[in-house]
Chains A and B, each alone.
Chain A
Amino acid sequence: MQLVELTKKAYEKLIWTWKPGSEKESGDAIVKNLLLHWFPNKVTKGSLSWSYSFYLGTISFVLFMILVGTGLVLMFLYVPSVERAYSSVKDIEYVVSFGWLLRAMHRIAAHLMVAIVFLHMVRVFLTGAYKNGGAVGSNRPLNWIIGLSLLVVTLLLSFTGYLLPWDQLAYWAITVGTNIAGSAPLVGESIRNFLLGGTTIDQNALIRFYVLHVFFLPLIVVFLFSWHMWRVRKDGGLAVVDREALNQKPESIAPVKSKTYSLLGITNGTTVHVQNRMIDEERNSVPSTPHLVRRVWLVTLITFLVVVALSFVFRAPLEAPANPSVTPNPAKAPWYFLWLQEIVTITTIQIGSFTVNGAFIGGILLPGLLMVLAIWWPYRDRSGIESVGVWFAPERRRQNWVFIGICLLIILFTIIGTFLRGPYWKFYWPWETWPTMPVKF
Chain B
Amino acid sequence: MKIFKRNGSWKESGENKPEVQTRRTFLEKLGLGGILVGVAGIAFQSFRSLIPNVLYEPPKRFKIGQPASLADGVTFLEEKRLYVFKEGKSFYAISGACTHLGCTVKYTKLNQPKQIETDDGKKTINFEFHCPCHGSKFYSDGTNYAGPAPRPLHWYKLDVSPDDGQLIVDLGEEVEQNFRLTV
Contact = CB atoms under 8 A, between A and B. Distances in A.
Q: Quick check: do A and B touch in the complex, using CB within 8 A?
A: yes
Interface of A: 20, 23, 26, 29-30, 41, 69, 73, 76-77, 91, 95-99, 101-102, 282, 287, 301
B53 A101 contact: no
Given A20-B3, A282-B13, A101 B54 contact: no
Contact of A98 (B3, B35, B48, B52): B48
13 contacts: A26-B3, A29-B3, A30-B3, A41-B9, A73-B46, A91-B54, A95-B52, A95-B54, A97-B45, A97-B48, A98-B48, A102-B45, A287-B16
Contacts of B54: 91, 95
Nearest to A103: B49
Interface in B139-159: none
A20 B3 CA distance: 8
Contacts of A96: 49, 52-53
B50 A76 contact: yes
A97 B46 contact: no
B27 interface: no
A16 B52 CA distance: 39
A282 B14 CA distance: 11
Across the A-B interface, give the 7 residue pairs with the lowest CB-CB distance, nearest first: A26-B3, A98-B45, A97-B48, A98-B49, A95-B53, A95-B54, A73-B46
A26 B7 contact: yes
Contacts of B9: 41
A305 to B, nearest CB: 10
Nearest to B35: A301
A77 B12 CA distance: 50
Interface in B1-15: 3, 6-7, 9, 12-13
Nearest to A287: B12
B50 A73 contact: yes
A101 B50 contact: no
Could you tell me the dominant secondary structure of chain A's interface residues? helix
Q: Which of B7, B35, B51, B53 has the most CB of A within 10 A?
A: B53
Given A95-B54, A282-B13, A287-B12, A23 B6 contact: yes
A73 B53 contact: no
A85 to B, nearest CB: 15
Contacts of B16: 287
A97 B49 contact: yes
B45 A69 contact: no
Contacts of A73: 46, 49-50
Interface in B46-91: 46, 48-54
Contacts of B46: 69, 73, 98, 102
Contacts of B53: 95-97
Contacts of B6: 23, 26
A98 B45 CA distance: 6
A219 B71 CA distance: 59
A91 B56 CA distance: 11
A301 B3 CA distance: 30
A405 B173 CA distance: 74
Nearest to A29: B3
A96 B6 CA distance: 52
A288 to B, nearest CB: 11
A91 B13 CA distance: 58
B117 to A, nearest CB: 51
A41 B3 CA distance: 13
